[in-house]
Amino acid sequence: MTTVASAGIRFHPGSQVFPSGTIHTTPLGYDRAGVPIGTPLPLPASAELVGRLSTCDEIEVAFEGKLGDTLLALAAVRALTHWLRLRAIPVSVRAVGPYAGLIARTGAVTRDPVTVATGRRVVIGDRAAVEARASGAAVVLVCDPTAPPCWSSDGRPYPDLPARHYLALERRLGVRLPGAAPFVPLLSTGPSRLVEELRSAGWLDGLTIAAITATSWPERKDYTARRFVELAERIAEAHQSQARLLLIGGHPDGNGVRIAAEGPRRHVQVLRLDGVPADQLADLFPHCRLVVGNDTGLTHLAAMSRGPDGSGPPVVGLYARHSHSKWRTGLPHHHAVATDLSDRMHQGDLCPVRDVIAPKTDVHMDAFPPAALAHVCLDLLNGVRG
């Protein structure tokens, strides 16, 4: 259920299913719920693609671009492996590049190569990585976040980017694949040295909030440490307890990892974690009570990282300019607080950058007052929303 959080901003729960007719969509071309898994679609498959893929015995997963684009595109890798399993085609899957460790956490990477290898390879990833590795490949599949539209089927839109990637490949392969919403894979997590060090120092006791300040577009997407501290203070006051705020930042001045505590405040203890690798943060996020961030890669990472038992905190993304429905994982615990502009981008399946849409006013993170955001977060922590 969509609710008003404050003047000009709205809360959209991760479990929300948008009514058909309220979003600009592209018909999938078949009623997906009525097609049995593994049967041909009432659409022609891409014969050239299917023919080439049928002869491959190795998948090379290669991403080098933005973390967020990479994580949301892993649904396409999932679709490809689902199709190969339906066809009983033996393949080995390996990941290369800076995100290889994260990709392995989805369970897609195989440990052992196929028994008889022909050397025919399919490369799937973002454009830069695929073009660098295309030489000698039998097939290349580019995961372009601007390409797949918001599909609709059975009277339901599929607006999140993982669903778009998965269903776009399903249509091209011409077979009903077994995936269902949410289409994004989860990332496995486990013990880590960082988690143990923070736990022993008391940072993971009680009300621990992770706030993501790292972003590739700080002038427009950084909520700022000051606002996050005020948010944590309001939550702590309402809970009548001390909060521990982990401020997750990027690489300061191009340097490595830097972890430092700030001076204590009345209701909040603040720890800055700058430049911590995504692999380590994936193990940390499930131990927090709440994660808040802008629509950046680490926020998506927090939503996809769950404990061995599937547990993890609610994750809240802040969407000032871009569609709150497209740039999310589609997971039920990954929520959004969005401006009116973000709602319009969602409704029209638009992008202010791709479609060169200049907002009437300069909309940034100051659209989200900490007091209004605190009400949303308190409801999530108390189980009222979600």
Q: Which residues of the chain have pLDDT under 50?
A: 1, 114-116
pLDDT reported for residue 20: 84
39, 33 contact by CB (below 8 A): no
The pLDDT assigned to 354 comes to 82
pTM, whole model, 2 decimals?
0.94
Check residue 352 and give its pLDDT: 85
Residue 115's pLDDT is what?
47
Q: Residue 3: in which H helix or E strand, if any?
A: strand 3-6
Structure tokens at 288: 């927090």
- Domain 3-15+188-381: CATH superfamily, name plus number: Glycogen Phosphorylase B; (3.40.50.2000)
**Pairwise CA distance, residues 336 & 318, whole Å:** 6
Backbone angles phi, psi at 80, to 5 degrees: -65, -45
Q: Cα dihedral sign for 31, 36, 38, 39?
A: negative
pLDDT value, residue 235 = 97
Domain locations in the chain as residue ranges: 3-15+188-381, 31-173
Give the per-residue pLDDT at 134.
95
Distance CA 346, CA 310 (A): 29
